[in-house]
Every structure is written in C-alpha cells, then in structure tokens.
Amino acid sequence: MADTRGYIVPVGGAEEKLGDVAILRRFATLCGGAMGRIAIIPTASELAETGGRYEELFHSLGIKVARSLPIASRADCERREWLDVLDEVEGVFLTGGNQLRLSTMIGGTEVAKALRRRNREGLHVAGTSAGAAFLCEHMIAFGREGASPRARIVTLAAGLGLTNRVILDQHFRQRDRLGRLLTALAYNPFAIGIGLDENTAGFIAPDETLEVVGSGALTIVDPSGLEFSSMAKVRKNDPVCLIGLRLHILNDGSKFNLHTRVATAPPGIAQRV
C-alpha cells in the first residue's frame, strides 16, 4: 500500500487527442508509462465507442494495459471482475458526457468505494469534462451560463468525494461559466473554485499542490477572505453581491497550493518579472 494518496487530475474537456497530447501523456507517464495499467470508465458518455477510443489513445502513448469498464447500470458496479481490475491498475480515467450519469450510476456503489479507497492508497484518478466535475465531493450538476452570480442558477449534487477542498467547473471560458462557479461557492464559501478551460488540466499532487498543464487557463476563485454575501437575502435569479473574493488566472506551469492558497507563476515567467 502506498504511503500517500494518488494524484487527482481534473481536465476541462476537449483535451488534445492528436499531435501535442500533453495532458494524456502526462497522465500516462504518471501511471507508469510502458509498465502502466489504466482503467477507463466511459459511463458519462452515451457513445458506445468512447471507451475503445481512450483504450487506443493510451496504448498509443505506450501504456501496457488500457481497459474500458463500460458501466451502464448500478448492477455493473458490483461486478467482481471489474472491481478486481480497479484493484490492479495504477490509474483510472473518467470520460466526458453527463456527470449525472456518473453520480446516479456509480454514487454509493462498490466502484465508488473502490475508487476512493484506491486513491487514498496511491491510485491516480483523472476525469475530463463531466468526469472532472464528478471527482470532488460537491459536484455542479447543472446550471445557467453567464458572468455574474445569481441566486439559484446552479444545482449541486454529491460527487465521488476524492476531495472536498474544491468545486470544479469545466469548459470554463468557452461556455462562460464564471457566474455559476461563483454561485456554487456563494452557497457555502468553504471550498476553492476551479474553472478549467478546454485542453487544460490541474494535476493535484498528494501534497495538495496543483500544477496547470495544457494550452488554456485555469481560473482559481478563493473565497477564504469573503467579507460579505447577499446570497441568503436575494430572490431567484437576482444577482448576488460578493465582496472580498480573490481570483487567479493560471496558465501552463503555474501552481497553486490548496492548503496555503498561494499561487505561483511558471518558473520561466517568474524569473523575467
């Protein structure tokens, strides 16, 4: 058994699958490269070919074993042979689609318990798009787009629960989702908000340091200094007043410590400033 938990890797969706596949290559290397074994859970997708496509992608990156577990019902989550696979692999990759398919089919099952246990033991778990949203304890199930926080425009549901430190949102800049992330944080400003652009990932290490990988940006909203929120006083769809938030925009190579809440620029950029 490992002494530390594995990486948690949310990806903003639409990660490069041809050419410069930096995110998938980094995850494959993390999982052992040529000796690595990765299980793919395509449950969020309704496309039959999704699991097989990621098998091919990880094989092309040199992964020894890449196996899709096409969970399509809660009963599938009790299959002993698939639970045995989760006990043997170094990494698990959750594909995109609809995060409610993940929470309703996997939540509370033996697969969910196995993923949490194995992550504590050192298993690396990544998810893209809907798969990313599902990784944390408080999952954005759905919500309206727009730049401003508004009362009750977002619905939260229980996620996989690998971490309770963050709330994640994906396709962030592309789908104008700052308002719904701010609204989710305003419900209870305990967690840190992370908005992931497409083809951008946050590799969260066991020491709670997040490193950005990819071509887009990662938006961090830190509500720890929140001085005032009108969330409890406004009516549905009304704008919410939030005073005292901190916001960081991080690009490839930037880091953020989820414990100290300190952001750092990429080394090359920091040296030139």
Of 165, 100, 262, 63, the C-alpha closest to 92 is: 63
Of 70, 72, 35, 18, the C-alpha closest to 49 is: 70
Active-site entry in 15, 55, 90, 198: 198
Active-site entry in 45, 68, 103, 129: 129
Active-site entry in 138, 171, 211, 254: 171
C-alpha to C-alpha distances, 176 to 25, 61, 202, 214, nearest whole angstrom: 28, 32, 19, 19
Backbone torsions φ then ψ of 127, nearest 5 degrees: -145, 140
Q: How far is it, in rounded angstroms, from Cα 184 to Cα 139?
A: 9
Q: How far is it, in rounded angstroms, from Cα 25 to Cα 127?
A: 14
Provide the Cα torsion 160, 54, 155, 198; round to 10°.
Answer: 120
Token code pair at residue 202: 């946050």
> Would residue 198 show up in a list of annotated catalytic residues for this protein?
yes
- Give catalytic residues, as residue numbers: 129, 171, 198
